């Protein structure tokens, strides 16, 4: 039996012997340079001020009553000023086509209504909403990409409909209630970047009772994986290099390859068991405090004999409409009877006629989110029907809530 806790600080795996203290969370070099927040080339220091543009509203009112904008926030927002990250997201056809289809599916709730696009980026979702007949769209982004979004809006003759607000959701002022909130807030492993908090703030500040939130729910899954090809490419490669035994490098290779979560694409054949629901999020009711720490216990049964190389995480989001609960007049999402409870192993799939689902599962078409994998330093042979049990805790870094600490135990 193996019982191994692994820790990840700032989305960065630490060896157990390094985890005794509370190390300062920081984005890893590879994450910062190669990917950044969902693909940006690097994080840079941000200027304190913002350049205005015609028709662009700049935030700054009543900030003393709102959470402070930290240096971490400024660096995060500045990373999204890089056009490459937006190119990657827009070229993700699964992502962008599903959002456009969801907007058109809910056109009756959007046409003639007021919409807020949280984290609008280049403004493409705001423009989709305008094309669906929205009366007014507030496109909010704290990054300087808002300046380009405003130019895009003008170029498409939509300035009378789409109002670009350059600032944080906490700081910008909208002088009316809104009917719809749309946002593409999901990060790697769903909760990395913690942008869902901005959607919650927008919901609590502006959304009318019975308003629509797209997407309405999100579910994070995990499952044990076997991935011998990846292990062979990164580790076993060193056993014989041009006929030279370089296996002495293997311990360093393991450390470099597996010391942090890996964002990569796997397929259904890599999954050893049915998935486990780590967290189900209802965007109509979720609170910011609920996201500070998520813990679940898992109990898997291997469907085959294979080497266990680690665990994979992925998510899906659902675009369903709101419903008014008759008991307390609170808005909740329309859920099917197969709505997963945190910890259940039933994978949620709704009738496609009822709700659109954007999935990042290994068996579905790949997206820019791919899957997030936590690899072991050495594989463990498991037999068919063998139990794999343990727990995982995902918690926001106290210093920078946009970073995620991962504590994983398995036996």
3-state secondary structure of 185: coil
Contact 89, 99 (CB under 8 A): no
Which residue from 256, 62, 36, 303 is spatially nearest to 173, judged by alpha carbons? 62
Identify whether 389 is a catalytic site residue: no
Contact 318, 356 (CB under 8 A): yes
Q: Per the residue annotation, which of 31, 144, 170, 193 is the catalytic one?
A: 193
What is d(CA 253, CA 406) in angstroms, rounded to the nearest whole number? 22
What is d(CA 70, CA 76) in angstroms, rounded to the nearest whole number? 10
Q: Read out DSSP for 188-232?
A: TTBTTT-THHHHHHHHHHHEEEEEEEES-EEEEEEEEE--HHHHH
Q: Per the residue annotation, which of 31, 144, 170, 184 is the catalytic one?
A: 184
**Which region, left, alpha or beta, applies to residue 190 given φ > 0 means left and ψ of -120 to 50 means alpha?**
left
CB neighbour list of residue 275: distance below 8 Å, 6 or more residues apart: 221, 222, 223, 345, 347, 361
What is d(CA 276, CA 294) in angstroms, rounded to the nearest whole number? 14
**CB burial of residue 351 (10 Å; 0-12, 13-18, 19+):** exposed
CA distance to 59, 227, 300, 305, per residue, from 272 (Å): 49, 10, 9, 9
What is d(CA 79, CA 32) in angstroms, rounded to the nearest whole number? 10
Structure tokens belonging to residue 399 = 């210093």
Identify whether 31 is a catalytic site residue: no
Angle among Cα 150, 402, 393 to the nearest 5 degrees reads 145
Active site residues: 184, 193
């Amino acid at each position: 039996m193996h019982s191994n806790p692994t820790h990840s600080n700032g989305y960065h795996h630490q060896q157990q012997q390094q985890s005794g203290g509370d190390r300062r969370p920081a984005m890893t070099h590879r994450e910062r340079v190669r990917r950044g927040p969902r693909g940006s080339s690097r994080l840079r220091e941000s200027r304190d001020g913002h350049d205005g543009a015609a028709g662009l509203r700049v935030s700054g009112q009543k900030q003393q009553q709102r959470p402070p904008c930290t240096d971490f926030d400024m660096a995060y927002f500045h990373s999204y000023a890089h056009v490459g990250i937006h190119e990657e997201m827009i070229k993700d056809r699964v992502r962008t086509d599903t959002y456009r289809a969801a907007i058109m599916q809910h056109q009756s709730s959007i046409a003639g209504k007021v919409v807020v696009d949280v984290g609008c980026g280049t403004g493409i979702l705001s423009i989709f909403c305008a094309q669906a007949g929205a009366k007014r769209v507030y496109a909010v982004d704290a990054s300087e990409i808002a300046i380009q979004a405003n130019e895009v809006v003008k170029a498409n003759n939509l300035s009378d409909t789409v109002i670009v607000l350059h600032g944080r959701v906490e700081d910008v002022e909208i002088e009316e209630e809104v009917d719809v909130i749309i946002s593409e807030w999901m990060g790697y492993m769903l909760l990395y970047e913690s942008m869902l908090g901005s959607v919650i703030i927008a919901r609590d500040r502006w959304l009318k009772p019975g308003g629509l939130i797209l997407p309405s729910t999100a579910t994070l899954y995990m499952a044990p994986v076997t991935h011998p090809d990846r292990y062979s490419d990164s580790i076993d490669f060193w056993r014989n290099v041009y006929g030279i035994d370089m296996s002495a490098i293997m311990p360093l290779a393991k450390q470099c390859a597996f010391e942090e979560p890996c964002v990569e694409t796997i397929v259904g054949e890599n999954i050893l068991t049915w998935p486990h629901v780590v967290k189900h999020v209802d965007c109509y009711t979720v609170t910011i405090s609920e996201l500070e720490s998520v813990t679940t216990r898992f109990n898997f049964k291997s469907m085959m004999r294979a080497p266990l190389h680690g665990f994979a995480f992925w998510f899906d989001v659902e675009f369903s409409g709101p419903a008014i609960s008759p008991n307390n007049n609170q808005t909740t999402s329309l859920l099917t009877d197969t709505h997963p409870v945190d910890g259940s192993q039933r994978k949620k799939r709704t009738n496609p006629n009822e709700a659109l689902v954007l999935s990042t599962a290994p068996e579905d078409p790949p997206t820019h989110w791919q899957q997030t994998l936590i690899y072991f330093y050495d594989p463990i042979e498991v037999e068919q029907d063998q139990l794999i049990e343990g727990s995982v805790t995902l918690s926001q870094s106290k210093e920078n809530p946009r970073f995620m600490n991962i504590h994983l135990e398995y036996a």
